[in-house]
Amino acid sequence: MFDGFQLDHIDVGEVTTRVRYAGAGTPIVLLHGHPRTHTTWHAVAPRLAEHHFVVAPDLRGYGGSALPPDAAGHAQSSKRAMAGDVVRLMAHLGHDRFAVAGHDRGALVAFRTAMDHPELVSHLIVMDGLPVIEQLERTDATFALAYWHWWFLAQADTPERVICADPDAWYRIGEPAALGEGNHADVVTALHDPAVVHGMCEDYRAGLGIDRDHEDADRSAGRQVMCPTLLLESAHDDLDLHGDPAAIWAPWIANSLRHRVIDSGHHQAEQAPAAVAEALLGFLSHGE
């Protein structure tokens, strides 16, 4: 897994980030979602590294990356804080401009990185994600039933106690053959760590509060993503629960928005790695 990649732990200020990187050429950062770690990209990253410098970190609080002590409003787990980790990580690796791709919760971090640091982000790729505020403003019984875990994971204390009692039963992440042996082992190890479970819950607590507030402030100020943006939607997931996801994203994007459907379930990088890599390489090859 990740042949030729360097595995490192890098101090980025508030936290130490576990990260893998390899390749040469223009850089791209790959950000995983919940409840995965960076190893979800194990079949995508090597394909990209043939043409680009690829950086795949664990988000703060996930996998092998640290999480600061809890702060007021769960600010330590805000997507703004996570975006800052990405920027400092890339600066440490010698890059002041890069593409960023994120899946699920990682899509929110990628989006925030592009919003807060437009001078640094050359391309944005969002995979199976929408702005939090757009989801919350459309909440109805159908969405609440489908996304019940958002509300559960954001509760105080209870989720950690429930999940840690039997993390394998709670997550049911699938068989090693489906995820890849190394990826499966890495995720299972993470999910059995109470500190990681807490970090993931804090991610969702921040999502319903401070992250929404940041997006509300952006929208009120008319801020938009300034770089070319690609939306990758899983064909067999529910990103279209609120209607056309590209139409929902469009007001947030100043310039071009491309939209492509990947023939997979929610975990695109694991279920359709060749299609994901091809889509990313094609998008990046068009320049800025």
Q: In what order do the strands lie in the sheet with 257-262?
A: 6-11, 16-23, 53-57, 27-31, 98-103, 121-127, 229-234, 257-262
Q: How would you class 204 by CB atoms within 10 Å of its CB: exposed for 0-12, middle for 13-18, buried for 19 or more?
A: buried
Strand partners, 20: 7, 56
Residue type for 277, please? A
CA distance 202 to 136: 18
CA distance 17 to 203: 16
User: What six digits make up the tokens of 37?
Assistant: 């770690």
User: What six digits make up the tokens of 183?
Assistant: 């990826």
CA triple 124-127-128, angle to 5 deg: 140
Q: How would you class 278 by CB atoms within 10 Å of its CB: exposed for 0-12, middle for 13-18, buried for 19 or more?
A: middle
Residue whose token pair is 């101090």: 11
- Catalytic machinery residues: 104, 266
Pairing label, strands 27-31, 16-23: unpaired
Q: Element (H or E) spanning 271, and its range?
A: helix 268-271
Q: Element (H or E) spanning 237, and its range?
A: none
